[in-house]
């Protein structure tokens, strides 16, 4: 269109033999855009290169399903940590879902705009607080409370679940809010017109329509919880047993890496990388599920943060 216009008006660009930089700019930008993908590739490569040989040496089964972690004797079994991570994540999801979804539904359906402009930034701020501060508050307040009123050592699955639940709440809320807002307004209006109350509309129509986005939100929250490190180290107790109750202390995959990386060497260090490989695989599976679930509905749309 532009060329047509310039031709009719009789204005053409001066015909200097200027060097056309456009293709070069395009290629440079494309290479920079591929940096994230190449970063991902190189991370995968190096983590696997360090971790996989030791898994092969110990034996895949033994590594995953043995609870014996005695680095000095060359015993590397991470079963108790896998169970620890799962227990803590499951607990965190209960807390994160109730609070995260509750906030998301309130923000999109029932909240007057003036309050939205207070609650939303507050939840974003919650995401900005350093994880060490969460861990610290957990140790200072939550752990003594659990020890005194519920029994056990206090450092426990329960304490970690609550701390992680609060930490994953912003992720779950912000993605669910996007999913709920993407539901066409006519759906809700139709339901109201049929005589349903706002709450009936919300849980029968809107939540159902936004289901896939909410599932994605919860799965991404799960990834956050399972990958969190510093806060969990501080409140989980880090013992090497499979937990039997929510008041038992546990060690997660992440805290195992962070706790022992400082002094590990040789096979021990490699085994920590192998722990990282396990974590990496779990996270990638969760991410892929979340991406496919949310892409299936909104094809071509970018997954919101």
Partner 1 sequence: MRISPKHSQRIAVTVMWAIAGLTLAVLAFIISYILWHGLRHITWTFLTEPPQSMGREGGVLPMIVGTLWVTGLAVLIAAPVGIAAAIYLTEYTREGRMTAIIRFGADCLAGIPSIIFGLFGFVFFVITLGMGFSILSGALTLALMVLPTIIRTSEEAIRAVPKSYRDVSFGLGSTRWQMVTWVVLRSALPGICTGVVLSIGRSISETAAVMLTAGSAMGFPHSIFESSRTLSLHFYILSREGISMSNAYATASVLILSILGINLFAYWLMRRFVAKAV
Strand partners, 75: 70
Q: How far is the CB of 206 from partner 1 (least distance, A)?
A: 13
Terminal Cα distance for the chain, rounded: 37
Nearer to partner 1, 205 or 220 (CB): 220
Q: Site residues for partner 1, window 4-23 (CB under 8 A)?
A: 5-6, 11, 13, 21-22
Q: How far is the CB of 50 from partner 1 (least distance, A)?
A: 5
Number of H helices and number of E strands within the chain? Answer: 16, 2
Q: Does 43 bind partner 1 (CB under 8 A)?
A: yes
| CA nearest to 88, candidates 304, 292, 279, 288 | 279
Nearer to partner 1, 94 or 140 (CB): 140
Angle between helical axes of 79-105 and 253-260 (0-180°, round to 10): 120
Cα separation, 257 vs 289, whole angstroms = 25
Instruction: List the one residue from 8, 16, 17, 32 that touches partner 1 (CB under 8 A).
Output: 32
Instruction: List the one residue from 234, 235, 236, 293 that touches partner 1 (CB under 8 A).
Output: 234
Q: Site residues for partner 1, window 51-90 (CB under 8 A)?
A: none
Using CB under 8 A, count the residues that bind partner 1: 95
Binding mask 107-146 for partner 1 (x = CB under 8 A): x--xx------xx-xxxxxx-xxxxxxxxxx-xxx-----
Cα separation, 252 vs 236, whole angstroms = 8
Please state, as a whole number, how many other Cβ atoms lie within 10 Å of the Cβ of residue 260.
16
């Amino acid at each position: 269109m532009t060329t047509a216009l310039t031709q009719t008006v009789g204005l053409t660009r001066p015909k200097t033999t200027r060097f056309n930089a456009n293709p070069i700019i395009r290629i440079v930008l494309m290479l920079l855009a591929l940096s994230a993908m190449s970063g991902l590739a190189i991370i995968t490569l190096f983590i696997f290169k360090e971790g996989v040989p030791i898994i092969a040496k110990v034996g895949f089964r033994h590594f995953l399903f043995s609870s014996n972690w005695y680095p000095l004797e060359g015993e590397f079994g991470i079963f108790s940590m896998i169970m620890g991570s799962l227990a803590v994540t499951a607990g965190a999801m209960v807390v994160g879902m109730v609070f995260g979804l509750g906030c998301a539904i309130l923000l999109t359906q029932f909240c007057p705009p003036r309050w939205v402009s207070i609650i939303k930034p507050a939840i974003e701020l919650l995401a900005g607080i350093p994880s060490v501060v969460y861990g610290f508050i957990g140790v200072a307040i939550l752990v003594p409370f659990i020890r005194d009123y519920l029994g056990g050592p206090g450092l426990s699955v329960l304490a970690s679940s609550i701390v992680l639940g609060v930490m994953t709440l912003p992720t779950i809320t912000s993605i669910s809010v996007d999913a709920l807002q993407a539901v066409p307004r006519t759906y809700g209006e139709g339901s109201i017109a049929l005589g349903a109350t706002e709450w009936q509309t919300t849980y029968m129509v809107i939540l159902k329509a936004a289901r896939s986005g909410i599932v994605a939100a919860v799965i991404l929250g799960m990834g956050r919880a399972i990958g969190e490190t510093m806060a969990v180290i501080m409140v989980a107790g880090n013992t090497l047993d499979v937990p039997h109750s929510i008041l038992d202390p546990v060690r997660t995959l992440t805290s195992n890496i962070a706790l022992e990386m400082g002094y590990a060497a040789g096979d021990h260090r490699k085994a920590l990388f192998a722990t990282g490989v396990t974590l990496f695989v779990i996270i990638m599976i969760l991410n892929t599920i979340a991406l496919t679930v949310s892409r299936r509905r909104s094809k071509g749309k970018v997954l919101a943060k």
